Structure 1
Amino acid sequence: MTILVTGGAGFIGGNFVLDWLAQSDEAIINLDKLTYAGNRQTLASLRDDPRHVFVQGDIADRACIDRLLVEHSPRAVVNFAAESHVDRSIDGPAPFIQTNVVGVFTLLEAVRAFYGTLSGSPREQFRFLHVSTDEVYGSLSPSDAPFAESHPYQPNSPYSASKAASDHLIRAWHHTYDLPVLTTNCSNNYGPYHFPEKLIPLTILNALAGKDLPVYGDGQQVRDWLYVKDHCHALRRVLQDGRVGQTYNVGGNSERTNLQVVHAICALLDDMHPRADSQSYARQITHVQDRPGHDRRYAIDAAKIARELGWSPAETFDSGLRQTVRWYLDHADWVQGVVSGDYRQWVARQYGSAGDAA
């Protein structure tokens, strides 16, 4: 038995691949384009593992997808492949449309053709799991109820609009072609192997480097934080027992403002890796100009996945964040492998001198 994972060298996809092979002997065909956010070093422990077959390729390359499906006949496809950073989508939206819309369409068409060749048990058991985001739902006010699966789509950035489009394609291919799909919409992930342009790893690395800790605007934007290993567990449950055609929201039950997150990181570093001058890392916090159209609050109602599949997060925000900070303290080699000149230039454009991460 084999599954095909797309985007499996990225943050969530890479964690999923590592977690899957730690839990199962079922092989993975791992397709990743290796853009700036894809990193083979994340998968270094699998270099000699015959259960892991890595293929560099693009989900928008129909011939590549067709070949992998025919050669390996996977029982499931799990799609993580996406351009995924709001700031980058504002800076240049074209790649987001190409990967998140055109790429998903191409992948769906290849999978539909492959599914048409199946019969009997392989056809009955086949699944296509699409991993999406809570950002498709738009923004909440402080008093609004969290996003449920029935919440209308109201994307506010090029990134979230492109992910919303991909979700709609998934739904349409199920309704029109009876493709056995599953969709998950998750809240903000954090944990090991997170690309260091995102808030939590950026804060950790800037703090350790003695640089400013940039916080957009007043820092009161609220996000629900989900430890990535909890997310991987949720995805395994959905793939195993999720109802075909259904959407499952996956959240961490951990709403925090961005400023609270940054202060929590500073407090952990004060304890785990004190500054040489014994001052708090919080002294490095700097407020920078807010990004255009910054959504104020996201929050996930994960009652459905708890009720139907028995999943709930194992980590609290405090326990997951402590593990994350410890991981970055212990893996400076991985960080240096991903922090390229291109990354430095991009962060400088976004945050000015306050974002000079490494």
Structure 2
Amino acid sequence: MEQLLSDPPSCVQEAGTWCQQVWRMTGNEWLAGSATWLVAKPLRILLIVVVAILARYLVRKVIDRLTRTPENGSENKLPALLRPLRERAPEVLGPLIIERRRQRAKTIGSVLRSLTSLVVFGLASIMILGELGIDLAPILASAGIVGVAIGFGAQNLVRDFLSGIFMMLEDQYGVGDVVDLGEASGTVEAVGLRITTLRDVNGTVWYVRNGEVLRVGNSSQGYAIAVVDIPLNYNTDVNTATAVLEQVAAEAVARQSIAPDILDPPDVLGVENVTPEGMQLRLTVKVRPGRQWAVQRALRAEILPAFERAGFEPPLGRLYSPGPANSA
């Protein structure tokens, strides 16, 4: 007992220190001299961890609130995070525009949450190591070397993620857009940070890495042009055919089925192409994005029968018309 109640350590003379408090409570020289490691540093480390967890929780709650899609599902309301960003989503998407905005906000929010966790816990780890008296310079140097090695080995993965982030921020394309990504084309079904999912006209699903996309052709932004080429025989009177085409096109675009998709009156450009078989008249119409194919089909369905009624023959119509069967 006499050995435990030995002379007080020098740190006891420092007022307000843990050493002084522990000496008063225990009278133990070793406990008092080690009070900084046994009490002060664990408490400071615990405080750092608690503050880091609390800060991460609060920041993530703010991010979740900013990325939340309005409950009423209104197409005119954006998540708060997307309001400062440019949006190119076409109105023709209808209900799909909500899913497009939801996926975009969810992906950007996921990136922000990951960055928040990395920054907060990274700073907390550095502060904890500092409290333990560990020299951070060798650790940071080693971490830098390891990071370079990992980055070099996973450069394709890093490129995919960076491309996905910029694609999201710039809204180059989204759910419901009809795009051409070079190797694959079709309707976008899902957009992620690493992979974009397309479904082509044959129903095949394509998974395209964002880092491999060098160019994007988007047919669903701003407006589109419906192009209709009408094949004609060389004997056709071009002026008469042009007049019939203008009249039929004007009547067709006024129909209720495609009238809401038309932005400008149809424009007959005249003879577009001449081939050994015949020639082609071209008609163009400015339409809402994504509706060009439906308008083209509707116009063809009206124009071709009208040309037949007017007596215009298709190219080489007589040559390929069925004749009497050859006798054996």
Shared topology, TM-score over 0.5? no
Larger radius of gyration: 2
The structure, 1 or 2, with the larger RCO (C-alpha pairs under 8 Å, 6+ apart) is: 1
Coarse TM-score class (shorter-chain normalised): under 0.3
Which TM-score applies when normalising by structure 1? Answer: 0.20
Which TM-score applies when normalising by structure 2? Answer: 0.21
